[in-house]
Amino acid sequence: AQSVTQLGSHVSVSEGALVLLRCNYSSSVPPYLFWYVQYPNQGLQLLLKYTTGATLVKGINGFEAEFKKSETSFHLTKPSAHMSDAAEYFCAVSRTGYQKVTFGTGTKLQVIP
């Protein structure tokens, strides 16, 4: 079985402040982890993914995430928020041999000028 939990359905940060979006997963085998972003009236776009290897992964638009097996976490960070980062962010988990991806419930990021 696999599941993913995103803490905080809404997060507000000031422009220029650190962005931290939390994601915890459960998986009976090594997971594959993804972060997606969704802008209004659009589909989801991949920000970054972790499969194997380096636990700190860098994605598009200055975002990065760190896979921490001991904490079963894959939190998304960005050092300095920009107004254009306002969107909904989804964490997702998959694993070898399992044909479906499990998505979290999403976190809506608001950036305050």
Say if residue 108 is exposed, middle or buried (CB neighbours under 10 Å; 0-12, 13-18, 19+).
middle
Binding residues with another protein: total (CB under 8 A): 27
Q: How many CB atoms lie within 10 A of CB 88?
A: 16
Q: Which residue, 36 or 75, has its beta carbon nearer to another protein?
A: 36
Query: In angstroms, rounded to a whole number, what is the distance separating the alpha carbons of residues 8 and 64?
Result: 19
Among 28, 70, 84, 99, binds another protein (CB under 8 A): 99
Query: In angstroms, rounded to a whole number, what is the distance separating the alpha carbons of residues 82 and 15?
Result: 5
Query: In angstroms, rounded to a whole number, what is the distance separating the alpha carbons of residues 56 and 94?
Result: 18
106 forms part of the interface with another protein (CB under 8 A): yes
Stretch touching another protein by CB under 8 A, among 16-24, 28-36, 64-72, 79-87? 28-36
Question: Which structure tokens are listed for 68?
Answer: 């921490």
Stretch touching another protein by CB under 8 A, among 20-28, 40-48, 64-72, 75-83? 40-48
Question: Which structure tokens are listed for 104?
Answer: 């979290």
Stretch touching another protein by CB under 8 A, among 60-68, 69-77, 79-87, 96-104? 96-104
Residues making contact with another protein (CB under 8 A)? 32, 34, 36, 41-46, 49, 51-52, 88, 90, 94-101, 103-106, 108
